[in-house]
Amino acid sequence: MEVIFCIFQGCFVFKPSTKKKKHLGLGAQNSGKRYKLCQDLWDQIKTDTESLQDELNRSILDSLLDFTRKCSSTRQHGDWASQMRASEIPTAALVLGVNVPDHDMTFQSLSELLQQLVTPHVASLQAKECGALKHLMKRVLERLMGTTCTVDDDEEEEPEQTSTETHKSMHCSLGILCDWYKSKTRVGHESQSVVLQSKMLQQPPVVVIFKDLEAFNHRVLQDFILICSRYIERLPLMFIFGIATSPSTIQNMLPHSVSSLLCIELFQSLSCTQHLATVIDKLVLTSHFPFKLNGKVMQVLISIFLYHDFSVRNFIKLALLEHFHSQPLSLSQRDLERIRQLPSFRRYTEKQDAQEKVNLMTDDTHLKVECRKLIKDLRKYHKNYYPVLSLHTLTSSLPRELHLICLEKTVWETEEYQSAMKLLRMLAKELIASIQRCCGTLKPVKSKKMMNALIQMEEILTKIKQLDENAPPVDNSITSPVKSLSQKKTDLFQLQKTLLEMNETRRTKKLSPFETVRNEALELIDGLVKSHLSPPEAQTLYEVCYYTSSATVRRHLNATPRTSIQAALSNPYHYLQNESLKTEDGSVSNAAPDICIAYKLHLECGRLINLYDWLEAYATVASAADGNDPDSDTFGKVDDLFSSARFIQAVSELEFLGFIKSTKQKTDHVARLTWEAVEREKRTHTWLLPL
């Protein structure tokens, strides 16, 4: 997926922007420090994500390891059935989902684990390096023999090694691999340490990993499997297929005669949406990292993920990138002037009394102290924010969505919140369970306020329990009219009447002890939500941690090559920044590059463009640009060889960019491929139907 490229592009674009801000800010020594901090944080997030991903893949990797062990052990005992059975090549079909860029990491940790725990002989292959069977063979032999050859440098083995080296340079065949393997295992018997022996099997399998099965050439793969099956008796081979789509591709790729040589077992990995969900939970919804995303940015990133590439790795990279970008802000705490300009800070100062205001605006040291305090507050806010967020268990809505809502607006004013509260008010038994769950989530949190909340919750719980012990449930009175209602089939009028009555009774009815406790609990939760789930925008100095500019993200991550080409062609000043190219009304100046002029002229043509007319128009513009006298004879004449050469070049450049193409409908004409409408709505343009 080429999205990675655009990320790198993004990186390049971002770097200068940080520098710019640095110039705005403080001196060089500060920027160095800022850069270091940024790097540290980046590294921290990176290691955290990596370990998280490892953990997510743990179960599937473990089962894969088990599979390899099992395969190599069943191979070794030779009872009747295993003698009679055709010796198939054990194959693990690893279904990883379409987020191909993420797979690298999985495969890397897989091969590392295999090398540590099961076998030193692991070769992973990518389709693009195995175009032909020859290359595939070469890669396998290189990876298997090359890596292990360098590991041990016994002098006795030296001549053997060189002989295999010469062989390898001549050709590659699995026979050589067999010999190599035999010598390897024999050497292992004699000289290698006992530790290794106990850890590894006596005949460690030779694992070949096909990272992207779909992209492999069918023919090559079939031949390779056929060859391998000839050697399976001598060489304990094993395959791992990395599959992005569905396991039935194996059957599409391999005919029965080949697939019957394999013993395929399926391993399904976590779906990537789940994957992302956990990553967000663990990385974004914690108070560990001071760096946060604002609602809109979050939405942009998630939609990129869902709409375009599904790649968790890219998502993380995006997040990291954002972080890099926002870093200048987050460290600008020293840059006092800038702080004073922050809108949230202004709001804060406006709330203070006059003296304080003056102090804040003028006295730097005071400001510093104040800032420190504010930042502390902010951290506290975060500490409380996330646990309360985890109270979502009450309403069983997803924490991520809740997080998004919270980021955007005050949650307790939303409709969903109201209805959730209403629902809670109706609950009886479930409430207890959910409160218990809340207590569970609150327990590990160490902030003071949360401790308080926990204690209160527990009190409520004990109260409910006492109620349960003392009195039987009292809610019979409410349910009975409903029951009676359903029993006798009444007409509509009566139904309304009874319902009204029921409402009346409920309103007037005295609250049962259970209900009072329930209301108490709800008030507590409501209070918690109101005090801690306020949107981050309301917090002072939230700019320090939150990254808000979603437009920049969108612009940097959604590369729109077409739009930029069109911008460059119709407004060359935008990129060239040359004063002479500056025009007001969107017209192109005469001094613009040839291709811009040709482009501008072609916009005025219909579907088919007469090349000669085009050339004439071009020659007129070009000679005006050269400063020729409009009244002279040669003005706008086409026979100027130089200008027609320039024109031809511009036309072929336009063809290369895909704006025109040659056509057979008319001689001396080219067909135009893009249309005015595209030009007009540059931002959101659509491709018109070529009808």
Partner 1 sequence: MIARLQQTGYEEDRLQRVAKLLPCRELQAGTLLSIMGQPQQYSYPSVFIYGHRASGKSHVMHILLKELELPHATVSCVECVSVALLFEQVLLSFFGCDAASLLPRSPSLSDFVRIYRQQCLEMPAKQTRYVVMEKAELLRDMDANLLPAILRLQELVEDNVTVIFLSEIVWDKFRPNTGCFEPLLLHFPDYSKGELQQILSQDKHPSYSAEFYSSYINILLGVFYSVCRDLRELRHLAALNFSKFCEPLAEGKVKESDTHKLWRNIEPHLKKAMQTVYLREVSSLQWEQMQQVEEKETGPLRGLSAHTHVELPYYSKFLLIAAYLASYNPARTDKRFFLKHHGKIKKTNFLKKNEKTSNHLLGPKPFPLDRLLAIFYSVVDSRVAPTASIFSQISSLVTLQLLTQVSHDDQLDAPKYKCAVSMDFICAISRTVNFDIVKYLYDFL
Is residue 408 part of the contact set for partner 1 (CB under 8 A)?
A: no
Among 95, 122, 237, 581, binds partner 1 (CB under 8 A): 95
CA triplet 212, 301, 390: central angle to 5 degrees?
105
- CA 310/CA 307 separation, integer angstroms: 7
- CA 540/CA 342 separation, integer angstroms: 9
By CB under 8 A, the residues from 248 to 277 that bind partner 1 are 248-252, 256-257, 259-260, 262-266, 268, 271-273
Nearer Cβ to partner 1 (66/468): 66
- 3-state SS string over 70-122? HHHHHHHCCCHHHHHCCCCEEEEEEECCCCHHHHHHHHHHHHHHHHHHCCCCE
CB of residue 649 vs partner 1: minimum separation in angstroms?
A: 17
Nearer Cβ to partner 1 (440/658): 658
Q: How many C-beta atoms lie closer than 10 Å to residue 153's C-beta?
A: 9
CB of residue 276 vs partner 1: minimum separation in angstroms?
A: 12
Nearer Cβ to partner 1 (75/382): 75
Q: Which residues pair with 240 in a beta bridge?
A: 92, 209
By CB under 8 A, the residues from 222 to 251 that bind partner 1 are 223, 226-227, 230, 244-251
By CB under 8 A, the residues from 34 to 93 that bind partner 1 are 70-71, 74, 80-82, 84-86, 88, 90-91, 93
Q: Which stretch binds partner 1 (CB under 8 A): 22-30, 430-438, 467-475, 681-689?
A: 681-689
CA distances from 111 to 104, 108, 117, 210 (A): 10, 5, 10, 12
Nearer Cβ to partner 1 (44/74): 74
Question: 3-state DSSP call for residue 203?
Answer: coil
With CB under 8 A as the rule, give the number of residues binding partner 1. 87
Nearer Cβ to partner 1 (276/601): 276
By CB under 8 A, the residues from 450 to 489 that bind partner 1 are none
Nearer Cβ to partner 1 (70/574): 70
Q: Which stretch binds partner 1 (CB under 8 A): 96-104, 333-341, 507-515, 569-577?
A: 96-104
Is residue 1 part of the contact set for partner 1 (CB under 8 A)?
A: yes
Q: Which stretch binds partner 1 (CB under 8 A): 10-18, 360-368, 399-407, 553-561?
A: 553-561
CB of residue 189 vs partner 1: minimum separation in angstroms?
A: 25
| Nearest partner of 436 among 420, 421, 454, judged by Cα | 454
Tokens 């911008």 correspond to 567
Residues 6+ apart with CB under 8 A from 587: 600
Nearer Cβ to partner 1 (444/690): 690
CB of residue 457 vs partner 1: minimum separation in angstroms?
A: 39
Q: Which stretch binds partner 1 (CB under 8 A): 428-436, 511-519, 560-568, 597-605?
A: 560-568
Residues 6+ apart with CB under 8 A from 509: 477
Contact status, residue 306 vs residue 520, Cβ threshold 8 Å: no
Nearer Cβ to partner 1 (310/381): 310
CB of residue 111 vs partner 1: minimum separation in angstroms?
A: 21
Among 111, 130, 208, 212, binds partner 1 (CB under 8 A): 212
Is residue 104 part of the contact set for partner 1 (CB under 8 A)?
A: no
CB of residue 104 vs partner 1: minimum separation in angstroms?
A: 14
CB of residue 372 vs partner 1: minimum separation in angstroms?
A: 42
| Nearest partner of 383 among 372, 371, 375, judged by Cα | 375
Residues 6+ apart with CB under 8 A from 535: 406, 407, 408, 409, 410, 411
CB of residue 634 vs partner 1: minimum separation in angstroms?
A: 37
How many CA atoms lie within 13 Å of 493's alpha carbon, on the beta-carbon side? 0
CB of residue 164 vs partner 1: minimum separation in angstroms?
A: 13
Number of H helices, E strands in the chain: 33, 10
By CB under 8 A, the residues from 301 to 330 that bind partner 1 are 304-310
Nearer Cβ to partner 1 (560/644): 560
CA triplet 665, 667, 670: central angle to 5 degrees?
70
CA triplet 498, 502, 504: central angle to 5 degrees?
115
Q: How many C-beta atoms lie closer than 10 Å to residue 286's C-beta?
A: 12
For β-strands 122-125 and 206-210, DSSP reports them as parallel
CB of residue 683 vs partner 1: minimum separation in angstroms?
A: 7
Site track 413-452 with partner 1 (rule: CB under 8 A), x = hit: ----------------------------------------
Nearer Cβ to partner 1 (39/163): 163
Nearer Cβ to partner 1 (86/194): 86
Nearer Cβ to partner 1 (25/97): 97
Q: Which residues pair with 671 in a beta bridge?
A: 608, 661
End-to-end CA distance of the chain: give it in Å, rounded: 31
Among 185, 534, 549, 560, binds partner 1 (CB under 8 A): 560
CA distances from 206 to 36, 89, 144, 182, 188 (A): 44, 11, 8, 12, 15
Residue 40, burial from CB neighbour count under 10 angstroms (0-12, 13-18, 19+): exposed
CB of residue 637 vs partner 1: minimum separation in angstroms?
A: 33
Among 149, 215, 522, 625, binds partner 1 (CB under 8 A): 215
By CB under 8 A, the residues from 168 to 197 that bind partner 1 are 170-174
- CA 263/CA 92 separation, integer angstroms: 8
Among 10, 25, 97, 120, binds partner 1 (CB under 8 A): 97
Question: 3-state DSSP call for residue 261?
Answer: coil
CB of residue 230 vs partner 1: minimum separation in angstroms?
A: 6
CA distances from 475 to 470, 481, 514, 515, 521 (A): 15, 11, 9, 9, 18
CB of residue 334 vs partner 1: minimum separation in angstroms?
A: 38
Question: 3-state DSSP call for residue 125?
Answer: strand
- CA 547/CA 301 separation, integer angstroms: 12
CB of residue 399 vs partner 1: minimum separation in angstroms?
A: 22
- CA 455/CA 481 separation, integer angstroms: 38
CB of residue 226 vs partner 1: minimum separation in angstroms?
A: 5
Among 562, 573, 611, 644, binds partner 1 (CB under 8 A): 562
Site track 129-148 with partner 1 (rule: CB under 8 A), x = hit: ---xxx--x-----------
CA distances from 331 to 20, 34, 337, 380, 438 (A): 14, 6, 13, 18, 36
Nearer Cβ to partner 1 (167/346): 167
